[in-house]
Chains A and B, each alone.
Chain A
């Protein structure tokens, strides 16, 4: 009995940490841009599959997405040439340099046969910019749209990215090497080293985000746009850039969680959406604005998920998503109490 509880606890915690990175991304994106990003889970998939490609020595399909996105960016900004050709040339030049750099980086990494950690860094550099590009294509053109419009757009982005994933990688699952193979017996419970890697990385990511937003100018600009977008704009903060930055960082966090998760469950084109939704349920606990509460939320989700899979496996997703109802009721009464 005791070992069952331990197993469920360890697994619940591991999954909770994976969802925590997702909740972190969702809160970051929502506070800075007011976008409830349903598509956040797709970066999990992109991160995992990019890593799988790199580890097996293939050119990752993400590279084509990235270069295609950069090219589309250049086309969308064609209007700039008439107004100010110098800056436009600089901008387009920058895009080309970025594309070439990404290509060179991937080639180099493949030629050098980097270890798993190195490949993870390369995959991160390939996936994270996609967040900023998607911001440029979907949010940037309509900065004042209502929340519901953004939700619908993000559903569209999720479907499109998943479709592209299926097109590029096919429906096959790809096994991914863990950072460290094997594991350790702790009492009756076998814990893979990968679970520790998830713990350490999640803590590093959270700490890093905290330090970044408290102690750097860009981080403070990010916070300012999160608190009051209009006010931040009046203070001369380029809110469009902070929005893009938020999307980029969120994509990075989610991609990392995908790369950590992949060795446990393999990488495939449909792995992201569910993970994203579970991160969302956890994030809802903090109203998508409160980091510590969101963390508590994802831990509850992880724990409930593993216990419900044990008790009544056919209903585990029903139970996890039903959690939203008490969470929203609780938030509602809290909001009312505060209003009084």
Chain B
């Protein structure tokens, strides 16, 4: 009898414990819209993979003071679909935070929707216009680096080498235009003259004329803002016309296609890059190294890829920043059931995230900076023996 009462008491205790435990752990809902299909799917699928990976890991994790529910939709790389899906997340699924979207056009399309609904959004797009000016983009944050930041890193290195005159070569599309705008403002700020600005397109069959023009402007360094194949082909054309100075590339060239097309001609190319590509070469003292190494090991094992690229890290960081903000919100006594109030508080807490070490860099958000990254998060890699190696700026 005593045994029975003891057991039943224990059972009751256990039951109440689970009950209070469940009540203690409210539900945080994170909605994401990424491009799983369409032209941007090469970026969107890895992003979704990283979210899935985090979801699997959180399923059995009881250390967080809340449970996390993930809702993920596809936008097919289409702005209209992105807007519809974000609306659905906000009104039907009642999410607290939105992570959207993969590309700059889709991210621009949803600005209005999230701002009116007062829902914090973390974008995975490259474009700086998504988050600037921060006063108008109160609810929007982003994790990937920007052209401005990368170009600044490269121009700093040029200045250290004593470069006075730089020539710009860029794609004649929105990507190239972004690089041109960044280059103009950075060069002006750092006192470097732009002596030539030449354009080409991905479908061009000959890049030598532009290379000739650049060589004749007699620059101390050349900056190429393009993606392979054209970035590698322009590099080859510069070599062909006898240009021997340093050649810098945007992050668009930080991939294997660049080396497999350019081969020995691109040896010595200086490529702006995010930490993920070169973390193995970093000194152990760099706080980014262990974070990236852990993420890379997890991702590579789960999805069976030889080497993780930059895209999954962007959504991984977005979710982790959300979790950090949610933890802070819980400490501040947030009530996740009161969705509008919780959204507002989460926004404030995301903006308050400081020194967060992610895969893409060290984030310090503030009311005037919704990118949160600084110089510590941009790196230059150099092509050496057909591989990208970390380049130490002198």
Which A residues have a C-beta under 8 Å from some C-beta of B?
4, 7-8, 11, 14-15, 18, 171-173, 175, 190, 261, 264-266, 268, 270-271, 273-275, 305-307, 309-310, 313-314, 316-317
Contacts and interface: CB of A to CB of B under 8 A. Distances in A.
Interface string B159-185: 000000000000010000000000000
Given A7-B241, A175-B260, A313 B199 contact: yes
A4 B212 CA distance: 7
Interface string B230-250: 000100000011000000000
Nearest to A275: B205
Nearest to B213: A310
Interface in B54-110: none
A314 B206 CA distance: 14
B229 interface: yes
Given A175-B260, A317-B201, A306 B206 contact: yes
B257 A173 contact: yes
22 contacts: A4-B212, A7-B209, A7-B212, A7-B241, A8-B208, A11-B208, A15-B205, A171-B42, A173-B261, A175-B263, A261-B205, A270-B202, A273-B203, A306-B206, A306-B209, A307-B209, A309-B206, A309-B209, A313-B209, A314-B172, A316-B209, A317-B201
B216 A11 contact: no
Nearest to A317: B201
B229 A4 contact: no
Nearest to A272: B203
Interface in B180-235: 198-206, 208-210, 212-213, 216, 228-229, 233
Contacts of A270: 202-203
A171 B257 contact: no
Contact of A8 (B209, B216, B257): B209
Interface of B: 39, 42, 172, 198-206, 208-210, 212-213, 216, 228-229, 233, 240-241, 257, 260-261, 263
Nearest to A183: B240
Contacts of B261: 173, 175, 266
Contacts of A275: 203, 205
Contact of B206 (A11, A171, A190): A11
A11 B209 CA distance: 9
B82 to A, nearest CB: 20
A6 to B, nearest CB: 10
Contacts of A172: 257
Contacts of B208: 7-8, 11, 306
A266 B229 contact: yes
Q: Which 3 A-B pairs have the closest CB atoms?
A: A309-B209, A310-B209, A173-B229
A261 B205 CA distance: 8
Given A15-B206, A173-B257, A306-B208, 16 more contacts: A7-B212, A8-B208, A8-B209, A11-B209, A14-B206, A175-B261, A190-B240, A264-B205, A266-B261, A271-B203, A274-B204, A306-B209, A309-B206, A310-B212, A313-B213, A317-B201
A265 B198 contact: no
A8 B240 CA distance: 13
Contacts of A313: 198-200, 209-210, 213
Contacts of A314: 172, 199
Nearest to B169: A313
Contacts of B212: 4, 7-8, 310
Contacts of B204: 265, 274, 309
Contacts of B257: 172-173
Given A4-B212, A175-B261, A265-B233, A274 B206 contact: no
A7 B172 CA distance: 23
Contacts of A305: 206
Contact of A173 (B206, B213, B228): B228
B253 to A, nearest CB: 12
